[in-house]
Each structure stands twice: as C-alpha cells, then as structure tokens.
Amino acid sequence: MASLPAGYPDQAFDAFAFLKSRTELSVEDMQVLAMIECFGEAFYLILAENVKNDEARALLTRNGNEERGHAHRLLKAIKLKSGQDYALPSNEENPFFKFAPSELKCDDDLMAALMQGEADGDLVYQVWADAESDPKVAELLRQNGREETRHGERVEQVKKLLAA
C-alpha cells in the first residue's frame, strides 16, 4: 500500500478539500492529487455500473476515463517540476481505495454533489495554474480544470436522460 504523506486526510473527497486550501501545489501535493484523480475514475465507473440508460452510462464512463487522464497529466507536471518520474500506485495500492464504495446509486443528490464538485474542481485547478511558475505545468493544470467543467456538463446531461 502506498502511504499518504503526513497531514493529508485519508478519504479522497476530504483530501481534495484540503488541497483546495493550497494556492500553489507542491510536487507532493500533485502526487496526492494524482491518486485522488484515480479514485475519481473508479468512482465514476462504479456509478456507471448501475445505470441502465446506455447513453447516460457512456457519459459517466467517459468522465471516469478522463479522470485517469488527469492523473497522467499530473505525472507529466511532476516530471517537469521535479525532473523525477513518479509511478502511480495501482488501485489496490492506492490508499484512497480503502474507502471506495462497492456500489453507488445515481440519484439526484449525488448528481448535484458531483456537478458542484466538478465546478469547484475547475476553479481550483485555475487557481493552481495561476500560481504556477512553469507555463507548461500551468497549461496541464488548466486542461484538467477545463475538463472538470465538461464533466459537470455531462452529469447534467445524465440527469436529464435519467429523468426522461
């Protein structure tokens, strides 16, 4: 099991809330954020499992796949900032997965929380990008942020599809 650096909450959403208080990300913060993004992938994929509507399921799966892409952009950012390669832990080794749900119900409350979380995610990625001195790293952070907004839009589409 990979361990979290001291001081980070051990649940993914709490750890993300904690990182929001950072104006500038350290390399260590980026490592934790990459593990949170992997958790985000799993969260969307678990959520998609119980969705009967094919189109809605595909949208949630796409969000999940892109969360994995966000983790990979963070690995690039870590390399640019530190010169070091950081290997993502497998999901089994990712400490946030101790608290991964085994199933999720795609209801209005959860979708509302996701839409809010994704919107906040974009905002905070832009804050981190603004503080970043390396323009290449900043652009990677901005790309992740922009996609978080798209994720929220997809969840909104899912909500409409499931209500229809």
Pick out residues in 87-116 that bind Fe ion (CB under 5 A): none
Which of 57, 73, 151, 154 lies at the binding interface for Fe ion (CB under 5 A)?
151
Cβ–Cβ < 8 Å for 158, 106? yes
Q: Does 41 bind Fe ion (CB under 5 A)?
A: no
Which H or E run contains 77? helix 54-82
Taking Cα atoms as reference points, which of 95, 118, 124, 116 lies closest to residue 2?
A: 95
Question: CA-to-CA distance for 153 and 145, rounded, in angstroms?
Answer: 13
| Segment lying near Fe ion (by CB under 5 A), choices 11-19, 88-96, 108-116, 147-155 | 147-155
CB of 133 to Fe ion, least distance (A): 22
Cβ–Cβ < 8 Å for 46, 101? yes
Q: Which is nearer to Fe ion, 30 or 164 (CB)?
A: 30
Q: Does 132 bind Fe ion (CB under 5 A)?
A: no
Question: CA-to-CA distance for 49 and 73, rounded, in angstroms?
Answer: 26
Q: Which is nearer to Fe ion, 44 or 164 (CB)?
A: 44
Residue ranges in contact with Fe ion by CB under 5 A: 37, 67, 70, 118, 148, 151
